[in-house]
Amino acid sequence: MGMDEGMDKSAARLFLVYLLGLVGLLGGLALAKGGLYVERHEGDTLHLIEIVLRMSEGQWPHLDFVTPLGMLCFLPIVAFMWLGLGVGAAIVMAQISVALLLVPMVWWLGRSRLSRGLAYGVGALVLVMALAMIHGEAAISLSLSMHYNRWAWSFAFVAILIAVLDPKHSSNEWIDGLIVGVAFSFFVMGKITYGVAFAPGVAVALAMRGQWRVIATALVVVALFAGVLTALAGPAMWMGYLGDLLLVSSTEIRPRAGFSMGALLAAPQFLLGNIVLILAAVVLRRGVDPRLGMFLILLAPGMIYVTYQNYGNDPKWLALVAVMILAVSRGPQVVALAVAAGALVFASFFNMATSPLRHFLTNEQGFTALFQGTPYAETHGDFYTRADRVNRIMTRKPMIFESDELSYLNALADHKPEVEFLGEALPTCLQELGLIGASLAIAKDLDESGLSEGKTVFVADTFGSLWMFGGLQPTHGAAPWYYGNLSGYDAADYFLVPSCPTTPYAYRAIMKDVKDRGETLTELRRTELYTLYARP
């Protein structure tokens, strides 16, 4: 079939069946396991589950706790928890619901702008990202961490292709605007990085193509989404959202997600992809499709910026570039560049595509229920983590030499000084494994000591989700992931100092800020895992 041939009604129906079949296959494999099994990223796991638990119990992001992530990252999961599902099933069903939302969007994109083969390929790319059980990269594992990044890329693929490609077979600006509006609603009220990155390129592309009705429709759709969220959470949510974004952008507590921008542009593992991007723009500008070449140039900084912001620095945009150039030409230069782009990102998409099957085939014997023995054991007992990573608590400490012969190594190593707190020097240490096990043990000890019931605690670390495992209450205003400024500290009854933090830079910042307050703290309990202080 030629690249400019469209889909007749029969072909369009078959394409829809294909898309729904993909959702059924990938989503069905995930559901068929009967539980959700994750193998890594325990910190991100606790972060996600704390947010959806708090939301399911009536709390709202930006009002009751700090997070730069918008509500649309979590509402699909929370909706299924409100319906009575455990958190594991709710996450899988949320992925399926997002994929089903994307199906008509991809169907319209394929029917209106793409050849049949390219449409089928784009459908696979978009739905694999929506339904995967790993964020990408080449390392084989299972993790629902950063699910919102995959969802955002799925919406970005569809919205960008709608914006930059002219319709070939069907034209309806209202439908185009609806699709772009849904995508940017998720960006603005979910993962705003994508909105900031892609809005200029998408807006210019639509404007240059004279698609003013698309722009207007998209803005109306975003406004409608915003109105619904305002009705649910109240208008104060928006000021809280803005405050959370400003806090995260202004603090140095949370470092970049991976490589520096310089490395992302020139490091060996990224350089070839960037060269493909540049060559694609050059080939388009020099006669293949000069206008699309300019659109690609406008979108390129956003593509690289999103990659810089996301953990793993996975350049998923390479697949998007391949589709963009193949949609307008099948010349030898274009095909060669598309093959190169596809080869560079193949491992990531193959990893995502096969992850539901790996999840289905996972041996359950090596896993333990996250909430086993806790108040949530019955309602959310379908979320499982690797037992060896839960129970094996491993720490790393610098080697300090006491002998005269080797003491010179201490100075050469340039160790960070010990943290001094309330007249005591605290050792430098890093907990590398066992975050969930340590959290369970601390929560259990607080319960058995009679210190937890109805109380709240601020933890001197990035994660403070102890309340999920015992009798503590969530601390109002605290962040499931610490971003700075002691958010929530004033609402806490206790201040808990872990013997070995998971994130030393956050630990040091918190200890300094608490120390600078000069308030009187009373030590209540000390164990090998933590020291607990009562706040005045």
Tens-place pLDDT, residues 501-517: 999 989 999 999 999 99
- Give the per-residue pLDDT at 1: 35
Rounded (to 5) percent helix, strand, coil in the chain? 60, 10, 35
User: Where residue 183 falls among pLDDT bands split at 50, 70, 90?
Assistant: very high
Mean pLDDT of 362-376: 93
Q: Is the pLDDT of residue 434 over 70?
A: yes
Query: What pTM did the predictor assign?
Result: 0.94
Looking at every residue in the chain, the average pLDDT score rounds to 93
Domain limits of the chain? 9-360, 398-534
- Give the per-residue pLDDT at 2: 42
- Give the per-residue pLDDT at 287: 87
Mean pLDDT of 7-29: 95
Tokens of 289: 């499709």
Mean pLDDT of 136-151: 92
Q: Is the pLDDT of residue 367 over 90?
A: yes
- Give the per-residue pLDDT at 5: 58
Say if CB 526 and CB 459 are below 8 A apart.
no
Tokens of 387: 């037992």
Give the range among 406-420, 454-468, 493-507 with minimum mean pLDDT.
Answer: 406-420
Mean pLDDT of 174-192: 97
Mean pLDDT of 241-255: 83
- H-state helical runs in 361-451: 387-391, 408-413, 435-448
Q: Do the strands 419-421 and 424-426 form a parallel or antiparallel pair, or are they unpaired?
A: antiparallel
pLDDT above 70 covers a percentage of the chain that reads: 98
42 or 177, greater pLDDT: 177
Dihedral angle, C-alpha 30, 31, 36, 41, nearest 10 °: 30
User: Where residue 6 falls among pLDDT bands split at 50, 70, 90?
Assistant: low
- Give the per-residue pLDDT at 411: 82
Say if CB 521 and CB 527 are below 8 A apart.
no
- Give the per-residue pLDDT at 453: 92
Q: φ and ψ at 431, to 5 degrees? A: -85, 115
User: Where residue 255 falls among pLDDT bands split at 50, 70, 90?
Assistant: low
Half-sphere exposure of 479 (CA within 13 A, CB side): 26
Mean pLDDT of 491-502: 95
Give the range among 196-205, 361-370, 402-411 with minimum mean pLDDT.
Answer: 402-411
- What is the DSSP secondary structure assignment for residue 505, as one 8-state letter? H
Q: Is the pLDDT of residue 44 over 70?
A: yes
Mean pLDDT of 511-530: 94
Tens-place pLDDT, residues 99-125: 999 999 999 999 999 999 999 999 999
pLDDT above 90 covers a percentage of the chain that reads: 81
What is the distance of C-alpha 96 from the center of its chain? 17
Q: How far apart are CA 363 and CA 269, in angstroms?
A: 33
- Give the per-residue pLDDT at 410: 84
- Give the per-residue pLDDT at 3: 47
User: Where residue 72 falls among pLDDT bands split at 50, 70, 90?
Assistant: very high
Q: Is the pLDDT of residue 428 over 90?
A: no
